[in-house]
Amino acid sequence: MQTHEITRRFTEHFVNAGHTRVPSASLILDDPNLLFVNAGMVQFKPYFLGQVPPPYPRATSIQKCVRTGDIDEVGKTTRHNTFFQMAGNFSFGDYFKEGAIEHAWNLVTGSQDTGGYGFDPDRIWVTVYQDDDEAIALWRRIAGLPEERIQRRGGDDNYWDMGVPGPGGPCSEIYFDRGPEHGREGGPVADEDRYLEIWNLVFMQDERGELSPKKGHPPIGSLPKKNIDTGMGIERVAYLLQGVDNVYETDLVRPVIARAEEFSGRRYGANHDDDVRFRVIADHARSGVMIIGDGVTPSNEGRGYVLRRLLRRIVRSARLLGVHEPVLGSFAEVVRDAMAPSYPELVTDFERISAVVRAEEEAFLATLTAGSRIFDTAVAATKQAGGSRLAGDKAFQLHDTYGFPIDLTLEMASEAGLTVDEQGFRSLMEEQRARAKADAAKHKVGHGDASVYRAVLDTAGGSEFLGYTDLAAEARVVGLVVDGAGVPAAGAGTKVEVVLDRTPFYAEGGGQLADTGWIRGDGFTVDVEDVQSPVAGLIVHRGTVTAGEAQVDAGVQAEVDTGRRAAVSRSHSATHLVHAGMRKHLGDAAAQAGSLNAPGRLRFDFTSPGGAVPTSVLTDVEDEVNAVLQNDEEVRWFVTSQDEARKLGALALFGEKYGDKVRIVEIGDYSRELCGGTHVHRSGQLGLVKLLSEASIGSGVRRVEALVGLDAFRFLAKEHVLVSQLAEQFKARPEELPERIGGVVERLRQAERELEKVRADAVLASAGALADGAEDVDGVALVAVAAPEGVNGNDLRALASDVRGRLGARPGVVALFSADGGKVSFVVATTAAARDRGLAAGKLIPAFAPAVGGRGGGKPDLAQGGGTNPAGIPDAVGALRGALRG
C-alpha cells in the first residue's frame, strides 16, 4: 500500500466518523517552546489548554513534523528520522478513551477491502500507563485482546507531553509484532525492534509545569476538558504495509537513495558506512525541502542553523560517497516529485526552494575549501610537533567557524593518519550548548507565564478588535495586570497591562508595530505604550497610569494615536507594494522573510538566493511602486476561505498561522496578500516611497530599507541640499559629480600608493645596516633588535626576510620587534644553515615570548607572534641570546 493511500484511508476513516479534516499546519508556528512543529497536536494546543474555544468537537489531520534532537543519530540506525508525517485524530471534550480505542482498532485491523489497513489482530500488542485499569478493560472489551498482549509501563514510556510546559496525559501505544526473525519474544517491554510502535493514543487531561509527570512529578493542574490526541506514524505503517525493512526503503524515501546511487556509482546495502551516508541524504533531503517550503532559509541561528546543518550534512555525505559535483538541487527535485501528491505547494514554490538549496550548496563548497586549508595546516602542525592526535579546540574551530561536522573531521583526520581529541571537542561543544541554553531560558516565555492572561480570557472572553474601521471606541476594562498578577485597581505611576472587552488598538504582529494612544476613564488616564496578544484572542494594552486610579469593570474611551497609526499603515501598504515589485522582477524565489512597518519607514527582508539585487532592479521597483501611488489605486480588504484565497493567487507569508477564514488585502491589481494588518484606503495616501539601501543579512536573505511619505520627502530634500553643496565645492553640475569625485578619489589612492612605496623602500633600506650589525653567538649570526621607527607589524615580515637574505650562507637568526601602543609584534626568521643546526623559528619563540607577555608560532624558516608588554623587548632579546648559547 503506497504512502499516499495510507494517508487517504486515515483521513477518510475519521471524516466518516464525524471528524473535521484540518490541513497540516506549517512547520513553523508562533510557539516560544518549539523550533519546529514536532507533533500533530501542536496546532490544536490552544484548544486543549482552553485558550480558545475549538471550532469543532473532533478533528483529524496529517501533520508534517520535524524533530531535531537526534540529528547525529540519523543514518546510523534505521529508526531515527528528522522529518516524518503524523496522522492524528483529536477530540476536544467530545469522546475520550473508549472512542479513541475503538476508532484506532477499527482502522488498524479493518480489512483493506473496506478501507482499513488489514493488520492481523493476533499480531497486535498494546501498552498502557502503569495504573490505567480503565484502558486495559477497554482494550479487552473492544478489541478482545488477551491480557498477555496488554503490558503496563511507567511514565517514561506511557506518559506523553511535549517536553516543555503544556498539555499532556497518560497514553496507550499500539505495537505490531514483526515476527521472531526480528527479535525475542515478550512484547514491547522485551524488544521494541521486533514489536514496532505504530500509534500512540494520548488521553490528554493534564497540564504539566517545568517538571514532567513522565519523571513522577505531579501535573500543575487539569485541562478544562478531557481530550484525545493521537499520533500514528505514517512512515512506520508504510514500511510494514509495503513489506520492507525500514522507512528508508518505502516509496517516498527510497527514490532519494536511488538518485544518490546514480551520482556515486555505489549501491545501497553493500557497505555499512555507505549505507549511513545514503540514509543521511534521504532523510535530510526531505527535511530540508519541507523546512524551506515553510519559509526558513539557512542561517547561523535558530531554525536557519538547523536547516543549514541538515543541508551541509547532505553535501558532506555525498562527498564521502565520492560525489564532488553539486547535488542538492537534484535531491530536492526527487523530494518534490515524491511528496507533491500530499503537498502540492512544493511544486508551485519549487523555484524558490531550488534556489535556496543551490545557493547554500555553493556557499558550503566554498567553505569546505577554506576549512580544508585550515585542517591541512592543523594536521601539518600536529605532525611537526610529533603528535598523533588533532587537538579538540582545532576540531571545535572547524565545526564552529567553518561548519565542519565532527564526523567529517574524524574521517579526514583518519585519512591523514591522526586521531582526534573527541573528548576535548565535546567539552567545548557542551560549553557552547550550556551558554545557548542559558540564553534561551533567559528569553523564554512559557505557558506558565501566560496563566494570568488565560484567567482573564476564561472569565471575560476575548477582545473584539475594532481597529480596521475605528480609531476610538467606548469599552470596558475586563482585566488589569501588574507585575504578572491580576489586580482590581492600579494607581498613578503604575506600569499596568489593561485588557478591554473591545479595542481599536492594533497589537504588534505581522511586522507591524503596535499602536500607541490613551485609555481614559472616569478620573483616570493610561498612556498606552505597547499592545500585544500574549494568548490567542486577547489584546493587552501596556502602559502607565498617568492620572487617577484605573479599575476593573470601569467604562473607558480608548483612543489610538491617529498620526502614528496613519504613518505605520502607510509603511505597511508600502511593504506590500515593494514585495510585489520584487517578486515581479526577481521571480517567486523573492519571498518575504520578515518585515518591520514603523512610522515613516519600512524594512523588508526577502529570499534572494542569487545574491545582491542589481541597482537597475531596485530602480525599476521604486519606479513601479511610485507609479501605483500616482495612480491612486483603491486599497480593498475582504475575508474569504483559504481555498478561495489560493485560487485568487493571494500571497501567504511563510510561518504565519492562518485560520479557516483569511483576510485579503489588495492594492489595485498590483498586490494581493493575506494580511491582518492595517492599511491606507488609497495608494495615493502614501505620497512617496524611497528605497534607501539593499544588503545581505544572511545566506540567501536580503534586506531593503525604505522611507515613506513625509519622511521620504525630507530625505530627498536633504539629499538635494547635499548635492548642491558638493556641486558648489567642485564647481560642477550635479550630473558631473560622480565623475569629478571619482577622479579625486583615484588621485588620492595613487598618492597613497606612492607614499607606501616610499615608506617601504625606506624600511628595506635599513636591512643592510641591521645585517651588518649582526652579533656572533656561538657561531650564529644574531640580529635581535627593535625595528627602526616607522616599521609597523605589517612590515616586519618583509624586513626580517630581507635581513635574513643578507646574512648569506652563515647560520643566522633574525628577530625583529615592533611596539605599537600597548602591543608588541615580532617576527623570527632563520637561514638554511641555522635550520641545519636545529634552529627552527617556531621553536625559538617560546624562549623569549613570555618576556613581552605573548606567544606565537609558525614554520621552521619564518614564525611570528605578538604580546602585550613593549617594555619587555630588551629582556626578550636577552632571552633569545641566552637560548642560542644554550
CB-neighbour burial class of residue 741 (10 A; exposed 0-12, middle 13-18, buried 19+): middle
- DSSP notation for 249-298: GSTTTHHHHHHHHHHH---TTS-HHHHHHHHHHHHHHHHHHHHHHTT---
Instruction: Give 115-118's long-range contacts (Cβ < 8 A, gap of 24+).
Output: 115/9, 115/12, 115/13, 116/9, 116/13, 117/1, 117/6, 117/9, 117/237, 117/241
Report the alpha-carbon distance of residue 31 to residue 441 in Å, rounded: 14
Query: C-alpha cell of 576?
Result: 506590500
- 833 with 863: CB under 8 angstroms? no
576 labeled part of a ligand binding site: yes
Q: Euclidean distance between the first and final Cα of the chain, in Å?
A: 81
- 541 with 526: CB under 8 angstroms? yes
- 83 with 64: CB under 8 angstroms? yes
In the numeric block, the cell 509501563 is attached to 153
Report the alpha-carbon distance of residue 673 to residue 301 in Å, rounded: 28
Q: Which amino acid is at 783?
A: V
In the numeric block, the cell 512506520 is attached to 236
Query: What Rg, from alpha-carbon coordinates, does the chain have?
Result: 34
Interior angle at CA 631, CA 625 and CA 634, nearest 5: 95
Report the alpha-carbon distance of residue 387 to residue 709 in Å, rounded: 66
Which residues does residue 813 pair with via DSSP β-bridges, in sequence order?
Answer: 782, 830
Report the alpha-carbon distance of residue 244 to residue 254 in Å, rounded: 11
Q: Which of 364, 271, 357 is nearest to 324 (CA)?
A: 364
- Maximum C-alpha span of the chain: 104
Pairing relationship of beta strands 150-153 and 124-129 according to DSSP bridges: parallel
Report the alpha-carbon distance of residue 320 to residue 877 in Å, rounded: 50
Report the alpha-carbon distance of residue 508 to residue 743 in Å, rounded: 49
- Residue 420's φ and ψ, nearest 5 degrees, are -130, 140
How far, in Å, are 479, 496, 500 from residue 555 at the CA level?
Answer: 12, 17, 9
Query: C-alpha cell of 667?
Result: 492594492
572 labeled part of a ligand binding site: yes
Q: What is the distance, to the nearest Å, from the Cα of residue 69 to the centroid of all Cα atoms in its chain? A: 15
Interior angle at CA 658, CA 656 and CA 659, nearest 5: 160
In the numeric block, the cell 496546532 is attached to 43
- Residue 281's φ and ψ, nearest 5 degrees, are -60, -45
Q: What is the dihedral of CA 696, 651, 39, 300, to 10 degrees?
A: 0
Q: Which amino acid is at 353?
A: I
Query: C-alpha cell of 397?
Result: 574551530
In the numeric block, the cell 493575506 is attached to 674
- Residue 527's φ and ψ, nearest 5 degrees, are -80, 115
Q: Where are the alpha helices (DSSP H) in 148-201?
A: 155-158
Binding residues for Zn(2+): 572, 576, 675, 679
Binding residues: 572, 576, 675, 679
